[in-house]
Structure 1
Amino acid sequence: MSSFSDPDQVARYTEGPVRQVPGFRDMQRMAALLLAESLGPEGEVLVLGAGGGLELRLFAEGQPGWRFTGVDPSAEMLALAREVAAPFAARIALHEGYIETAPDGPFDGATCLLTMHFVPREQRVPTLRALRQRLKPGAPLILAHHSFPQDEARRALWLSRYAAFAAASGVAEANARNAAKAIGERLPILSPREDEAALAEAGFTDISLFYAGFSFRGWIATA
């Protein structure tokens, strides 16, 4: 979205997820634990949508033996990631671009948190396939993003719940409603069934739901 190139919006990014994503910090911790099941104390992790640096910081704090390759198309968001995860810079390589230009790896695991809902429908499977091609066989992918039923009535209901949570978390009510409206109009959101089908079409197996928070869902899948 265009806000990721707006300096003021980028500067405030780290405040947003906690207010807008139910259980945001716990979702990140669960992602780290799921990675650790496969990686152990050492490993190479690919982070797609690394701008902002929040998961990079959390993962690096908890796992001193992991190294990270972060990919994001926004130079401004990558600059914020460098700032947020600065104490761990020696173990983090950041790349401006999309998954197609990311290093080949192969990586021991990957995450894609709060990112896939920005990827156009026609690019979902190619993006997931490019992720899988950069993972070692059996490596985990952990992803979480907006995913809810897309019939008109239930779509409106889940967007209203998103707005209600944001307002209850301290976001001004008008801003929360506007954000929900923008999400509904601009983001190419899939239903959970469509998201799981895209993962399977891209070649992932053992697709399991690990997180659900109002309009957000999260899965672990195996390359």
Structure 2
Amino acid sequence: MTESPDRIYATPQGQVADFAFNEDVVRVFPDMIKRSVPGYPTIVENIGVLASQFAQPGTPLYDLGSSLGAVTQALRRHVKADDCRVIAVDNSSAMVERCREYLHAQDSMFQELLPADVIEADILDMEFQPCSLVAMNFTLQFVPREQRLELLGRIRQALLPGGALILSEKLRFEDAEEHQLLTDLHVAFKRANGYSELEIAQKRSALENVMRPDSLEEHRARLKAAGFSKVVPWFQCLNFASLIALP
């Protein structure tokens, strides 16, 4: 399937609306995420590799906030445990529709992939089945802060012994100089990928009310409060990181 270039913020907008995963974003999302998140392809592919070490036969694997299903596709390629299935969940109908198309295309290219169900739902309202793997790839940062602990607590309760949560997030930093340095380097990354100053500024305005990153220390403390026994960072590139949380 062809990818459209991200030009959403290329022209001046008098009033920049809050960012939403609507049809316009879905159309350009593969280009947007690749040019905006350093290390994104590495994170996605290796979530599949890591998941293969935790997935248990006969259990579901959750991809929460699945967007176009990149993580779901990685899970299907790498996990070989018998009778597993992926449950991909997103609350954007546009994302869910396109995700199903991408997974259908993947089915035509590969054999013996895990089955996958794509569900349109709010993860805050879900009852999770006992599972061995939960992936949240840049999802928690869009959940209201006051609801994050309760959500993680329910995920922890659903995880079977030996399972894992893989959590990827944009980070903020407690040290002001460190935060500014990594923010500036992230802007340089986006410039190097062809975004203009106008695009960078307008997207920042669109995200400021809907995406609220936490520090690594906040993530670690919250995951421990939710009942996880161990939190291990396995990847960081600039101000983006991914963690493994063990029950």
Between 194-203 and 133-142, the greater mean CA deviation after superposition: 133-142
Change (3 A) 1:58 1:52: same
Change (3 A) 1:129 1:40: closer
Q: In the alignment, does 2:101 pair up with 1:83?
A: yes
1:60 CA drift (Å): 1.5
Determine helix, strand or coil for the equivalent of 1:58. Answer: helix
1:133 CA drift (Å): 2.1
Residues 25-44 of structure 1 aligned to structure 2 (within 5 Å): 25-39=41-55, 43-44=59-60
Gaps of at least 5 residues in structure 1 are: none
1:174 CA drift (Å): 2.5
CA distance in structure 2 between the partners assigned to 1:160 and 1:184 by the alignment: 16
1:150 CA drift (Å): 4.5
TM-score, length basis structure 1: 0.88
**Does structure 2 retain, via aligned residues, the 8 Å contact 1:14–1:54?**
no
The count of aligned residue pairs is 222
Aligned twin of 1:61: 77
The letter for the 2-side match of 1:73 is: N
Determine helix, strand or coil for the equivalent of 2:189. Answer: helix
Aligned twin of 2:195: 171
Change (3 A) 1:17 1:163: same
1:2 CA drift (Å): 4.0
CA distance in structure 2 between the partners assigned to 1:179 and 1:150 by the alignment: 23
Determine helix, strand or coil for the equivalent of 1:167. Answer: helix
Determine helix, strand or coil for the equivalent of 2:149. Answer: helix
Q: Which residue, 77, 102, 126 being the options, matches 1:102?
A: 126
1:99 CA drift (Å): 2.4
Gaps of at least 5 residues in structure 2 are: 1-17, 108-112
1:209 CA drift (Å): 0.3
1:94 CA drift (Å): 1.9
Determine helix, strand or coil for the equivalent of 1:16. Answer: helix
**Does structure 1 retain, via aligned residues, the 8 Å contact 2:128–2:154?**
no
1:115 CA drift (Å): 0.9
Q: In the alignment, does 2:96 pair up with 1:72?
A: no
**Does structure 1 retain, via aligned residues, the 8 Å contact 2:132–2:164?**
yes
CA distance in structure 2 between the partners assigned to 1:45 and 1:207 by the alignment: 19
Aligned twin of 2:21: 4
Aligned twin of 1:123: 147
Determine helix, strand or coil for the equivalent of 2:162. Answer: coil
Highest Rg: 1 or 2? 2
The structure whose residues are more often helix, as a share, is: 1
Between 208-217 and 50-59, the greater mean CA deviation after superposition: 50-59
**Does structure 1 retain, via aligned residues, the 8 Å contact 2:139–2:169?**
yes
CA distance in structure 2 between the partners assigned to 1:42 and 1:161 by the alignment: 44
Q: In the alignment, does 2:133 pair up with 1:133?
A: no
TM-score, length basis structure 2: 0.80
Cα deviations by residue, 1:94-148 (Å, 9 ceiling, x for unpaired): 2222224335311111100011111121111111112112221231100101112
